[in-house]
């Protein structure tokens, strides 16, 4: 078995799985076969098919596929922690000078609809919506992050298409994050006017719908998360059939309703859009910025500003993330050293406790031996004295001393010494 903590690369893992059967290779790494298979899948490393080793043993050579170059975002290293059964996959650090071979500017300018958006409108319109705020909650989870309602669907679709095309034109491809990229994002503040405390329905909304994987654009090798959403503002709503509607948009506007003397005010979709751009890398001081449209300026006018600012931030984020990785690596090594020192200290304390316990047991045996020796000398002197007595008294005295020996010499000290076990520190 290899070390408890080890790091393997794609090239090493490729050679390793093609030199040993999967179960034997997993045993040498100290992981299970399923873990090793999942690691090969995530790192895009081809594995031998079923029956490969039997056919090879029978003299039937099988073709061996080549290891292709890693795609952008594919993990390049696998950190194995065999003691805690954890696996950490590391993607190559971002290189600000890297230029992604994306769609050319000429081709991007001719693109009418971005490839991520052809079926988004149909999926949203066919889905239900969250009655408390009016946002759609589609059943499909592999969608670009566009959180809108009926009032903002058309404008959000047009804005998303323009924004995605603008990034593509600048050489920054927009895509859904890969299954191996564990990028996470929180739900943005949907209020048009920020509030100190979010209402309970927003935590419920976050639980109801969120895309399975985030939407990202890559500036070089630095990913940014794109979140487009329709904001909410306080407005009067009407309740019909246990659902809320904006006043004037209810299905049956002529249905009589009870007048309770107050208005039902809720945060509901207002038709105005917002976009949040944030760094996909999780590190201290993670960058993010929000653009909101208002009555004066539409969100479409911010597109060039968004693209330029994101591209300008990429080198800074790349350098900050590299420094963060170096710092975390140093902290991890210090943590391993600390854990090793604590383990050695615990082992030392255990050895001292075992030695002390064994020492006390031996002292107890010695004291018992001394007590038995003192009692034996006592009976020996009495027996010598009995031998000088007359025959009639001698027999009676010997019988009495035999009963006394049985009473005091029940435990044999040597038997206690034989039961004493040698501590494991001496084995």
What are 82-88's contacts with CB under 8 Å, separation 24+? 82/1, 82/2, 82/4, 82/5, 82/6, 82/29, 82/30, 82/31, 83/4, 85/31, 85/35, 87/31, 87/35, 87/39
Q: How would you class 5 by CB atoms within 10 Å of its CB: exposed for 0-12, middle for 13-18, buried for 19 or more?
A: middle
Classified as helix, coil or strand, 56 is: helix
Residue written as token pair 């306080």: 234
Helix, strand, coil percentages, rounded to 5, for the chain: 45, 20, 40
What is the per-residue pLDDT for 251?
Answer: 66
Asked if residues 186 and 227 have their Cβ atoms less than 8 Å apart, the reply is no
Q: Which run of H or E residues covers position 77? A: strand 75-81
What is the per-residue pLDDT for 73?
Answer: 66
**Do the domain assignments include residue 340?**
no
Asked if residues 318 and 95 have their Cβ atoms less than 8 Å apart, the reply is yes
Of 41, 70, 92, which residue sits at a domain end?
92
pLDDT band at 344 (very low <50, low <70, confident <90, very high): very high
Domain match, 175 and 269 both: yes
**Do the domain assignments include residue 389?**
yes
Domain match, 163 and 73 both: no
Domain match, 177 and 307 both: yes
Residue-wise DSSP of 362-427? HHHHHHHHHHHHHHHHHHHHHHHHHTTS-HHHHHHHHHHHHHHHHHH--S-HHHHHHHPPPPGGG-
- Specify the number of domains making up the chain: 3
Write the CB contacts of 390 (distance below 8 Å, at least 6 apart in sequence). Answer: none
**Do the domain assignments include residue 333?**
no
Q: Which domain holds residue 50?
A: 5-92
* Residue 337 clears pLDDT 70, i.e. is over it: yes
pLDDT tens digits, 168-203 = 999 899 998 887 778 888 888 888 877 655 444 444
* Residue 87 clears pLDDT 70, i.e. is over it: no
Return the beta strands (E) in 107-201 as ranges.
Answer: 146-147, 174-176
pLDDT tens digits, 25-77 = 888 777 888 888 888 888 888 988 888 888 888 888 888 888 888 776 677 77
* Residue 133 clears pLDDT 80, i.e. is over it: no
Q: At what angle do helices 153-169 and 303-386 cross, to 10 degrees?
A: 90
Domain match, 161 and 248 both: yes
pLDDT band at 311 (very low <50, low <70, confident <90, very high): very high
Integer angstrom CA distances of residue 85 from 22, 31, 32, 36, 81: 17, 7, 9, 12, 6
Domain match, 136 and 283 both: yes
Of 321, 342, 374, which residue sits at a domain end?
321
Of 302, 321, 340, which residue sits at a domain end?
321
Domain match, 235 and 175 both: yes
Domain match, 68 and 118 both: no
Domain match, 217 and 310 both: yes
Q: How would you class 8 by CB atoms within 10 Å of its CB: exposed for 0-12, middle for 13-18, buried for 19 or more?
A: middle
pLDDT tens digits, 249-268 = 666 666 655 555 456 667 77
Domain match, 213 and 242 both: yes
Bridge partners (DSSP) of residue 216 are 175, 225
Q: What is the DSSP letter of 293?
A: -
Domain match, 308 and 170 both: yes
Domain match, 14 and 116 both: no
**Do the domain assignments include residue 315?**
yes
**Do the domain assignments include residue 348?**
no
**Do the domain assignments include residue 326?**
no
pLDDT tens digits, 102-129 = 433 444 344 468 888 888 888 888 887 7
Domain match, 304 and 391 both: no
């Amino acid at each position: 078995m290899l070390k408890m903590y080890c790091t393997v690369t794609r090239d090493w893992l490729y050679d390793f799985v093609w030199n040993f059967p999967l179960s034997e290779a997993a045993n040498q790494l100290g992981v299970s076969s399923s873990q090793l298979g999942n690691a090969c899948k995530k790192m895009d490393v081809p594995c031998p098919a079923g029956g490969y080793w039997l056919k090879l043993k029978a003299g039937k050579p099988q073709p061996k596929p080549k290891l292709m170059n890693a795609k952008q975002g594919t993990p390049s290293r696998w950190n194995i922690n065999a003691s805690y059964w954890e696996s950490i996959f590391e993607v190559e650090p971002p290189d600000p000078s890297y230029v992604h071979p994306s769609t050319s500017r000429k081709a991007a300018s001719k693109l009418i609809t971005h490839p991520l958006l052809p079926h988004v409108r149909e999926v949203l319109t066919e889905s239900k919506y969250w009655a408390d705020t009016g946002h759609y909650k589609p059943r499909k989870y592999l969608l670009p992050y566009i959180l809108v309602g009926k009032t903002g669907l058309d404008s959000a679709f047009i804005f998303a298409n323009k924004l995605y095309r603008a990034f593509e034109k600048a050489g920054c491809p927009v895509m859904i994050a890969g299954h191996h990229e564990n990028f996470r994002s929180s739900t943005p503040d949907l209020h048009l006017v920020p509030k100190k405390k979010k209402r309970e329905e927003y935590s419920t909304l976050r639980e109801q719908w969120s895309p399975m994987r985030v939407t990202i654009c890559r500036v070089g090798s630095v990913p940014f998360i794109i979140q487009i959403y329709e904001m909410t503002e306080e407005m009067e709503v009407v309740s019909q059939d246990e659902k809320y509607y904006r006043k004037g948009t209810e299905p049956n506007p002529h249905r009589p309703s009870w007048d309770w003397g107050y208005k039902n005010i809720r945060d509901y979709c207002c038709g105005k859009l917002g976009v949040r751009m944030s760094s996909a890398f999780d590190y201290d001081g993670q960058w993010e910025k929000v653009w909101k449209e208002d009555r004066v300026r539409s969100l479409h006018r911010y597109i060039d500003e968004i693209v330029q600012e994101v591209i300008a931030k990429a080198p800074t984020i790349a350098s900050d993330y590299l420094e963060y990785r170096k710092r975390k690596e140093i902290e991890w090594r210090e943590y391993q050293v600390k854990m090793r020192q604590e383990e050695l200290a615990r082992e030392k304390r255990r050895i001292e406790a075992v030695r002390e316990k064994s020492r006390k047991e031996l002292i107890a045996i010695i004291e018992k031996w001394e007590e038995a020796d003192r009692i034996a000398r006592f009976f020996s002197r009495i027996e010598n004295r009995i031998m000088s007595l007359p025959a009639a008294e001698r027999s009676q005295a010997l019988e009495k001393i035999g009963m006394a020996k049985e009473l005091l010499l029940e435990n044999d000290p040597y038997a206690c010494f034989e039961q004493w076990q040698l501590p494991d520190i001496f084995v």
